[in-house]
Chain A
């Protein structure tokens, strides 16, 4: 057989040549394929290769802490982990979603919602799908590095409010930036950023918020980090020091724990806010992770409005505290002489209507000093009638009512200081002269915030200094002045001293060796125009006490309001004011406040105070 094979010399030359051409053609075709990938589409594939191997992981900048005026920590952070989802390969992510949801203890719908919320972000940016990773989540991620390479853990700094709800309304809370905020931020904010939502957290967000860094790492095909490319360190947010004095805040907070209302303490010389409490309140720690929708709804729709900072947002009738404005107006305007007196038989008639004094038996002949000390309504009714609403408006506004104080907190309310012009503008009718009588004792249309009242009393006692209240220690506060004559200041402050020290409406609040002065108020909860319903609301009153010390040129002024109590302002609100002032002086003389509160406990509130025990709401104000 080999012979025959060897003999056959016919070779298909042509067909062999064809095979050669085919070889050249195929090689050329393959080279073209490489040309297309490596030259024409090279950039695209280079990017894909880069995305394959490089993973950008944000380094979250810690938010600046908040310290009290002595450097004690009020707000700080704690380290925690968030679960990140890497979305470089959307199809892969899609496939793994059920596993991811299961492993992280979330519902598939939740996971999808998280992804949907960030769909505007570029794909190479990982998103947070679970803000607070539990130990079992971390274990899940670590053990599924290979089959679920799209999960990553992110070290974050979680906001911590070590004192819980103390100062919550002033400090505010943080939360994930809203879509609107991102849009309005000029790309300085990105979805998922934690920003201050209310209070100081929001006011000083720019200072508190740092700049996130970025870690670019090389990962291999199973997502394991094998190298580090570059790291842009996070720039931590700056801490801010507040004017708050933790000790005074603590005194206020303890007293207010189970009450409804607000307390604000301020240095009337500088506007530094020493304490600020609003009740009921919330625990901002609840917001630090990501507040469940239901809980948020509850807080937001709670009729007791825990999110409202009553110290600056509660617009309340000032009641008898307003009589200080009236007194200043009387002495400054000189419309009535300084020795002006009224006779109080327990009631008086104005414009065909009877107005009651809080003391049905009456106060007899009353001059300004006695009127302040005993809070005689008839005196101020009469004074109001003589001054007229526009004169009252002038001094009320001058002393800071009806306009925002300019405190460094968002959402401050201005209250209302009515005038003829205002009623014309808003209600399109003439001012009813009878309304002036109500306004004269701090009822009717006039509303104020606790902060405004504190500032007003401070201004009267200091001769007209109206500093911008503030919580940031090194804020250059604007100073407003409404100069009052020496005579005016002396007379009115003598009256306020008498309230406490001469058997007035706050005589249970006396403090030894301290010129503690102030003014009480008990205001009906009535809106403007609801005068006819007076008395129908039963026990709904606001008990005020605004106290300060010393009598002239005060160092501290405290306004407190207890809402929804039937008791007199001096009884309900007075003690906390006194305690704060006492704590202030104790600290000054080197006594530790903690020791003071621990030893003596909270001073007992004396129900049998000053005034007629037969207090009812028919008797408007003291």
Chain B
């Protein structure tokens, strides 16, 4: 099987786009932190990117069918890891999300996302019918539901919610029926108020702040407001790299991570944002294109799983930055500073490459 693959078969356009985004990210991380006690963060990020690239290459060599064969085992590992993190995980910023692995702290939920992509791709590719039956739908929901519940217990609402579009896109492509999709929407409409009831106080606060930001100028509403001020004051051309007052003076919250796009929007303006969002659009469309050209249904599901997760990340993060959505703590893929998140994206791209390399294999 290895014979058919060569270096030319990698999706270099996709990789170029990914690296362009990484480059913009590193630049903005540098700009946001170089004058503060966080200086040097961008070099760490470059290390993560380098490591991610190597892991991507390694993962792409391993046939995705082999990986998908191990789906049940992977699922088990994911669940055990999530329970482990709840039981003995490392608490940071008020949430248990990290497990000490390889001398560092690994955010387990990132790994879980990757596993669930594989698990759901396997599940949906095994559906033989043209339309998705209700039973299959419920099975898929259950497969997604267990890790989702465990992640929510950490609590990490943002990451937990990422699993929903992953399942939704998979279900849609697997032949979701209109009546079922309507039923799901209706069910969601009922579940939202009930779910709100179970939110942690700070999570509720985020939601209420999102709805009425002026009520809480120093809390989450303050963050959104400062983010919007940063974005809005950037204007068309921006204030120039390193010149954004909102960014440099620390008004933009976690400006090197979750709100990195606000920092970028302030310093590079609408022009910079336009380029960044076009890069993301190209990246996502390129993923869909790869899915369309996948050798088989399983590969398609795998790639679309990756696309769903990355697309949701982009949507939620960008919408948060401009005040369209509440603060969720979901980073912007490849751009936000963060080891686990960066590694996750490269590993996900490794799965995509994996499928692509085998598209002509019979």
1/0 per residue B282-323: CB within 8 Å of A? 001100100110111110100010010001000100110010
Contacts known (A221-B249, A221-B250); A49 close to B319, Cβ less than 8 A = no
Q: Is the CB of A180 closer than 8 A to any CB of chain B?
A: no
- Smallest Cβ-Cβ distance to A53: which chain B residue: B245
Q: Is A220 within 8 A of B315, CB to CB?
A: no
Contacts known (A5-B65, A45-B228, A221-B251); A15 close to B172, Cβ less than 8 A = yes
Give complex CA distance A30, B125 in Å.
32
Give complex CA distance A139, B226 in Å.
29
Give complex CA distance A42, B270 in Å.
10
Give complex CA distance A30, B169 in Å.
20
Closest chain-A Cβ to B147's Cβ sits at a distance in Å of 22
Total interface residues on B, CB under 8 Å, equals: 61
Q: Is the CB of A91 closer than 8 A to any CB of chain B?
A: yes
Q: CB within 8 A of A19: which of B68, B169, B281?
A: B169
Q: Is the CB of A13 closer than 8 A to any CB of chain B?
A: yes
Give complex CA distance A33, B323 in Å.
9
Q: Is the CB of B40 closer than 8 A to any CB of chain A?
A: no
* Stretch of B100-108, B155-163, B193-201, B272-280 lying at the A interface: B272-280
- Residues B57-88 near A (CB distance < 8 A): 65-66, 68-69
Q: Is B68 within 8 A of A5, CB to CB?
A: yes
Contacts of A1 in B (CB 8 A): 69
Contacts known (A20-B285, A39-B270, A221-B250); A30 close to B277, Cβ less than 8 A = yes
Q: Is B322 within 8 A of A37, CB to CB?
A: yes
- Residues A173-230 near B (CB distance < 8 A): 218-222, 226
Q: Is the CB of A23 closer than 8 A to any CB of chain B?
A: yes
Q: Is A31 within 8 A of B273, CB to CB?
A: yes
- Smallest Cβ-Cβ distance to B319: which chain A residue: A30
Q: Is the CB of A48 closer than 8 A to any CB of chain B?
A: yes
Q: Is A10 within 8 A of B228, CB to CB?
A: no
Total interface residues on A, CB under 8 Å, equals: 48
Q: CB within 8 A of B270: which of A19, A23, A34?
A: A34
1/0 per residue B258-270: CB within 8 Å of A? 0000000110011
Contacts known (A5-B68, A20-B288, A91-B217); A38 close to B236, Cβ less than 8 A = yes
Question: Total number of A-B contacts with CB less than 8 angstroms?
Answer: 163
Q: Is A27 within 8 A of B173, CB to CB?
A: no
Q: CB within 8 A of A6: which of B214, B266, B295?
A: B295
Contacts of A257 in B (CB 8 A): none
- Smallest Cβ-Cβ distance to A8: which chain B residue: B297
Contacts of B240 in A (CB 8 A): none
Q: Is B245 within 8 A of A16, CB to CB?
A: no
Contacts known (A24-B285, A52-B245); A11 close to B292, Cβ less than 8 A = yes
Contacts known (A23-B285, A24-B281, A46-B235); A38 close to B270, Cβ less than 8 A = yes
Give complex CA distance A216, B361 in Å.
69
Q: Is the CB of B324 closer than 8 A to any CB of chain A?
A: yes
Closest chain-B Cβ to A126's Cβ sits at a distance in Å of 18
Closest chain-B Cβ to A21's Cβ sits at a distance in Å of 10
Contacts of A45 in B (CB 8 A): 228-229, 231-233
Q: Is A8 within 8 A of B172, CB to CB?
A: no
Q: Is the CB of A9 closer than 8 A to any CB of chain B?
A: yes
Closest chain-A Cβ to B362's Cβ sits at a distance in Å of 9
Q: Is the CB of B50 closer than 8 A to any CB of chain A?
A: no
1/0 per residue B120-147: CB within 8 Å of A? 0010011010000000000000000000
Q: Is the CB of A233 closer than 8 A to any CB of chain B?
A: no
Q: CB within 8 A of A33: which of B217, B284, B319?
A: B319
Contacts of B274 in A (CB 8 A): 31, 34
Determine which residue in B68, B169, B251 has the highest number of CB atoms from chain A within 10 A of its CB, and name it: B251
Give complex CA distance A24, B286 in Å.
12
- Smallest Cβ-Cβ distance to B362: which chain A residue: A6
Determine which residue in A38, A218, A226 has the highest number of CB atoms from chain B within 10 A of its CB, and name it: A38
Determine which residue in A44, A45, A221, A222 has the highest number of CB atoms from chain B within 10 A of its CB, and name it: A45
Report whether over half of chain B's contact residues are helix, strand or loop; otherwise say mixed.
Answer: helix
Q: Is the CB of A2 closer than 8 A to any CB of chain B?
A: yes
Give complex CA distance A95, B277 in Å.
39
Q: Is the CB of B175 closer than 8 A to any CB of chain A?
A: yes
Q: Is A220 within 8 A of B249, CB to CB?
A: yes
Contacts known (A10-B297, A11-B300); A49 close to B246, Cβ less than 8 A = yes
Q: Is B322 within 8 A of A33, CB to CB?
A: yes
Q: Is the CB of B242 closer than 8 A to any CB of chain A?
A: no
Q: Is the CB of A335 closer than 8 A to any CB of chain B?
A: no
Give complex CA distance A41, B234 in Å.
11
Q: Is A6 within 8 A of B269, CB to CB?
A: no
Q: Is A6 within 8 A of B250, CB to CB?
A: no
Determine which residue in A2, A27, A95, A218 has the highest number of CB atoms from chain B within 10 A of its CB, and name it: A27
Closest chain-B Cβ to A492's Cβ sits at a distance in Å of 80
Q: CB within 8 A of A5: which of B234, B297, B307, B318?
A: B297
Give complex CA distance A10, B127 in Å.
11
Contacts known (A37-B322, A91-B214, A220-B249); A11 close to B69, Cβ less than 8 A = no
Q: CB within 8 A of A27: which of B128, B233, B277?
A: B277
Q: Is A8 within 8 A of B304, CB to CB?
A: no
Contacts known (A5-B298, A16-B173, A222-B250); A49 close to B230, Cβ less than 8 A = yes
Give complex CA distance A42, B65 in Å.
51
Give complex CA distance A20, B284 in Å.
8
Determine which residue in A16, A44, A222 has the highest number of CB atoms from chain B within 10 A of its CB, and name it: A16
Q: Is the CB of A26 closer than 8 A to any CB of chain B?
A: yes
Contacts known (A9-B297, A19-B288, A27-B277); A37 close to B232, Cβ less than 8 A = yes
Q: Is the CB of B44 closer than 8 A to any CB of chain A?
A: no
Q: CB within 8 A of B273: which of A13, A34, A89, A218?
A: A34
1/0 per residue B326-343: CB within 8 Å of A? 000000000000000000
1/0 per residue B19-61: CB within 8 Å of A? 0000000000000000000000000000000000000000000
Contacts of A13 in B (CB 8 A): 292
Q: Is the CB of A432 closer than 8 A to any CB of chain B?
A: no
Contacts of A38 in B (CB 8 A): 231-232, 234-236, 265, 269-270, 273
Contacts of A27 in B (CB 8 A): 277-278, 280-281, 284
Q: Is the CB of B180 closer than 8 A to any CB of chain A?
A: no
Give complex CA distance A53, B251 in Å.
9
Q: Is the CB of B218 closer than 8 A to any CB of chain A?
A: yes
Q: Is B284 within 8 A of A23, CB to CB?
A: yes
Give complex CA distance A39, B232 in Å.
7
Contacts known (A13-B292, A31-B277, A34-B270); A2 close to B68, Cβ less than 8 A = yes
Q: Is B250 within 8 A of A35, CB to CB?
A: no
Q: Is A16 within 8 A of B231, CB to CB?
A: no
Q: Is B285 within 8 A of A5, CB to CB?
A: no
Q: Is the CB of A424 closer than 8 A to any CB of chain B?
A: no
- Smallest Cβ-Cβ distance to A33: which chain B residue: B322
Give complex CA distance A220, B235 in Å.
21
Give complex CA distance A13, B297 in Å.
11
Give complex CA distance A263, B197 in Å.
82
Q: Is B233 within 8 A of A46, CB to CB?
A: yes
Contacts of B311 in A (CB 8 A): 23, 26
Give complex CA distance A92, B214 in Å.
10
- Smallest Cβ-Cβ distance to A90: which chain B residue: B217
Q: Is A16 within 8 A of B304, CB to CB?
A: yes
Q: Is A34 within 8 A of B322, CB to CB?
A: yes
Contacts known (A11-B300, A89-B217); A2 close to B285, Cβ less than 8 A = no
Q: Is B228 within 8 A of A37, CB to CB?
A: yes
Closest chain-A Cβ to B356's Cβ sits at a distance in Å of 14
Known interface pairs A13-B292, A30-B319; 11 further A-B residue pairs with C-beta atoms within 8 A, sorted by A's residue number: A8-B128, A8-B297, A16-B288, A19-B169, A19-B307, A26-B315, A49-B251, A50-B245, A52-B229, A220-B251, A221-B226
The 4 tightest CB contacts between A and B, nearest first, are A45-B232, A49-B233, A2-B65, A221-B250
29 contacts between A and B (CB under 8 A): A1-B69, A5-B65, A6-B298, A7-B296, A11-B291, A11-B297, A15-B173, A16-B288, A16-B300, A27-B277, A33-B319, A34-B273, A35-B270, A38-B231, A39-B235, A41-B232, A42-B236, A45-B228, A45-B233, A46-B232, A52-B229, A52-B249, A53-B245, A53-B246, A53-B251, A89-B217, A91-B217, A92-B217, A221-B250
